[in-house]
Amino acid sequence: MLTVENLTVKRGALTVADDIGFTLESGRVYTVLGPNGTGKSSLIKAVFGELPHSGSIRYGSDTLGKTRLQHWQKRIGYMPQDTATEATLTALEVILLGRIDALHMHVGDDVLSEAAETMNLLGIGHLAHRDITRLSGGQRQLVMFAQVLMRRPEILLLDEPVSALDMHHQLNLLEHVCRHTREQGLVTLMVLHDLSLAAQFSDGLILLGSGKIQGCGTPAEVLQADVVGRLYDIRVELLHDSRGIPVIRPMRQAV
């Protein structure tokens, strides 16, 4: 269980996260939503230990700040927004870096098999020997996600993991996130911009606005047309798909 209490993050004179609190359970996927500049990425970075903060972040018996940062981060699979790299490595080599603690002069067959299986699950096995710098943004995202999984994390922090992916690969990656979270009992917190996609793949949503929580709960509880419309300053229509999952449709202004 990951618990955040009274979390405040400042960047200079600007407060980007203000007195935020929530509890995330193992085996469940949670998504942070909100307009640009509302503190979503800052929240993820603070939980990873990358940004100074006040308040408390706890996981099990460990508390960030009281626990060695290296030990804290070792339990986390963190995938930032920017996956660009200038390293001259193949996709397979980048993924193997996720198990750097198990790498020696000779890479064992078990580690190679694990990497190959992960790549095949994500549909990128054919990229194994391609130079990472020559891959598209979407392909790099999938490679970096595979690297994150190779770390065998207890917590997944994914900042816009599907932003450069087409619909097929978005669904593939998010299905894998959900499956891996449940099978391994992970705590997963991700940032998405697509509210309807988040509703399909999240057990809980955290809606941010101006650095504060504007809604927290199940997709049905959080995705209310009046709240979303006010927060994004647009007109929206709340629909439901065949399974009863909320679908948010932005409405064009009358012409």
Measure the CA–CA gap between 108 and 196, rounded to whole angstroms: 42
Measure the CA–CA gap between 9 and 15, rounded to whole angstroms: 6
CB atoms within 10 A of CB 42: 24
Instruction: Looking at the chain, list the stretches that DSSP marks H as alpha helix, in order from N- to C-terminal side.
Output: 40-48, 69-74, 91-96, 109-121, 137-150, 167-184, 195-201, 219-222, 225-232
Q: In terms of pTM, does the model score above 0.85? A: yes
- In what order do the strands lie in the sheet containing 155-159? 76-79, 155-159, 187-191, 28-33, 204-209, 212-217
Measure the CA–CA gap between 183 and 112, rounded to whole angstroms: 22
Residue in this structure with the two tokens 């504060």, named with its chain if needed? 212
Residue in this structure with the two tokens 């097929």, named with its chain if needed? 168
User: In this predicted model, what pLDDT tens digit does every residue of 125-157 receive, in sequence order?
Assistant: 999 999 988 888 888 889 999 999 998 999 999
Write down the domain spans for the chain. Answer: 1-75+153-217, 85-151
Average pLDDT, the chain: 90
What's the residue count for the chain?
255
Find out whether 236 and 228 touch, Cβ atoms under 8 Å. Answer: yes
Measure the CA–CA gap between 147 and 200, rounded to whole angstroms: 25
Residue in this structure with the two tokens 């001259």, named with its chain if needed? 88
CA 235 to each of CA 53, 82, 224, 251, 252: distance values in angstroms, whole numbers, following the listed order: 35, 31, 12, 5, 8
Sort strands 2-11 and 14-24 into parallel, antiparallel or unpaired. antiparallel
Query: Which pLDDT value is given to residue 24?
Result: 97
Compute CA 161 distance to the chain's CA centroid, rounded to the nearest angstrom: 6
Sort strands 187-191 and 155-159 into parallel, antiparallel or unpaired. parallel
Query: Which pLDDT value is given to residue 83?
Result: 64
User: In this predicted model, what pLDDT tens digit does every residue of 187-212 receive, in sequence order?
Assistant: 999 999 999 999 999 999 999 998 89
User: In this predicted model, what pLDDT tens digit does every residue of 71-85 receive, in sequence order?
Assistant: 999 999 999 987 666
Provide the token pair at 252. Answer: 């064009």
Q: What is the DSSP letter of 211?
A: T
Find out whether 138 and 165 touch, Cβ atoms under 8 Å. Answer: yes
Domain 1-75+153-217 has CATH 3.40.50.300: yes
Please check the confidence at residue 101 and state whether its pLDDT lies above 80: no
CA 114 to each of CA 24, 83, 119, 144, 222: distance values in angstroms, whole numbers, following the listed order: 28, 22, 9, 15, 38
